[in-house]
Structure 1
Amino acid sequence: MPFQPIEPRRLYRQIADQLRQLIQTGEFAVGSKLPAERDLATKMGVSRPSVREALIALEVEGLIEVRMGSGIVVIARESVRMLDNAPGPLEIIRARQLIECELAALAAKSTDPTLVPDLLETLRDMEADIAARTLPIRGDRAFHIRIAQASDNSALQAVVTQLFDERNGPLFQKLGGHFEREATWKAAVDEHRAVVDAIAAHDPDMARAAMSGHLDHSHERFSAGWTTPTDA
């Protein structure tokens, strides 16, 4: 039999695999609740954000349902869909941070007279969508890609576009459904505005710091603990 390639298993997938096995063997019956996120992290010796991504993966697979203020309920023993070994949402945000902070600094050195007006237009698009109670992904995406375009490097533009578009994946969408709200999007617009102000001032250090702060806050918004009765 020919050898098969061995894929490294991401941490959140390893956590999900263990929990899935416990569900399938009946350790956690359908209708029962899993331990709180905090308790799972302690028992498994991992971070709460890693547990968060694992639970989101199991929710996408149809095994559990995360009920805010109630708990994590097992709803099936067998997955209705299986996910590939893709990066988790929090991992993607950190990857973006490494790249986009430097791109913001480069943008602050740009002499393109259309750059700042274009970026301000993306903020108006986001605000209009928020007011219409629509996810402001269109303006958010245009903001980050426009900054990448200021580098005049097509490879970097492609990387930023690919990483941002991971938001369309099932894990990111499920995570966003739990934690993205009007208030969080308004905060993101304010953070974007700080980046634009730094670029307009042609201050690379300030632009780098503003972008880093924005993506730090994005990571925090997705990794903040949800509240369940046993997780106070």
Structure 2
Amino acid sequence: MPFQPIEPRRLYRQIADQLRQLIQSGEFAVGSRLPPERDLATKMGVSRPSVREALIALEVEGLIEVRMGSGIVVIGREGVRLLDNAHGPLEIIRARQLIESELAALAARSTDAALVPDLLETLSDMEADIAASTLPIRGDRAFHIRIAQASDNSALQAVITQLFDERYGQLFTTLGSHFERENTWKSALEEHRVVVKAIAAKDPEMARAAMSGHLAQSHERFSAGWSSASDTDTQRSHK
């Protein structure tokens, strides 16, 4: 038999595979609940964000249902497998944090006279969508890509466009459905305002810190919301 190529697999996929095997073997029956995220992370020796991404993958596949405030319920033993090369939503945010923080600093040095007015327009678009109870993805995307464009580096623009557009994938969409609300988007909008203020002031250090803080908060919003469900599950399991 010919040798097969060895492909590195993302950690969250390895976690998902273990949990899937336990579900399919009957260790966790349909209708039962999985241990809380915190317990799974401890037992498997991995981080909670990695477990969170694995659970979202299993939810997309149709094996579990994450019920905020009550736990993680097994709803099936067979599902549609995701592609193994799908990036985890939280690792995407971390990657964007590293790259976009520097892009914001570059934008603060830009001589592009249209940059700040264009960014202010993206804020207005987001504000209008939030007021209309519509996800303000259009303005959010335009904001981040416009800052990347200020770098005058087409490769960086392409990277940020690709990373941002992962938002439209199944994993990110499902994660967002649990945690993105009007109040979280309002927080993101205010963080955008801080970034624009720093760019308008032509302060690279302030712009770098503002963008890094914004994406760190974005990561925290997804993480904190999920933790609330897990913590409730833990409390109930101990009663």
CA contact (8 A) 1:104 1:147 kept: yes
Count of aligned pairs between the two proteins:
232
TM norm structure 2: 0.94
TM norm structure 1: 0.97
Residue identity in the other structure for 1:169: G
CA distance in 1 between partners of 2:20 and 2:98 (Å): 33
CA contact (8 A) 1:34 1:74 kept: yes
CA distance in 2 between partners of 1:25 and 1:194 (Å): 51
Could you list the per-position Cα deviations for residues 69-101 of structure 1 after superposition, in whole angstroms to 9, with x for gaps in the alignment? 111100000113433332201111111111111
Could you list the per-position Cα deviations for residues 190-211 of structure 1 after superposition, in whole angstroms to 9, with x for gaps in the alignment? 0000000000000000000000
User: What are structure 2's unaligned runs of at least 5 residues?
Assistant: none
Percent identity over the alignment? 84
CA distance in 2 between partners of 1:82 and 1:105 (Å): 37
2:228 paired residue number = 226
Q: Secondary structure at 1:2's aligned position in 2? A: coil
2:157 paired residue number = 157
User: What are structure 1's unaligned runs of at least 5 residues?
Assistant: none
Could you list the per-position Cα deviations for residues 164-223 of structure 1 after superposition, in whole angstroms to 9, with x for gaps in the alignment? 001011100000000111000000000000000000000000000000000100111111
CA contact (8 A) 2:36 2:71 kept: yes
Q: Secondary structure at 2:234's aligned position in 1? A: coil
CA distance in 2 between partners of 1:181 and 1:23 (Å): 31
Could you list the per-position Cα deviations for residues 5-25 of structure 1 after superposition, in whole angstroms to 9, with x for gaps in the alignment? 221111111110000000000
CA distance in 1 between partners of 2:80 and 2:155 (Å): 37
Q: In angstroms, what is the RMSD of aligned CA positions?
A: 1.1
Map of 1:194-213 to 2, 5 A cutoff?
194-213=194-213
Greater percentage in helix: 2
2:108 paired residue number = 108
Deviation at 1:230, TM superposition (A): 2.8
CA distance in 2 between partners of 1:175 and 1:167 (Å): 10
2:13 paired residue number = 13
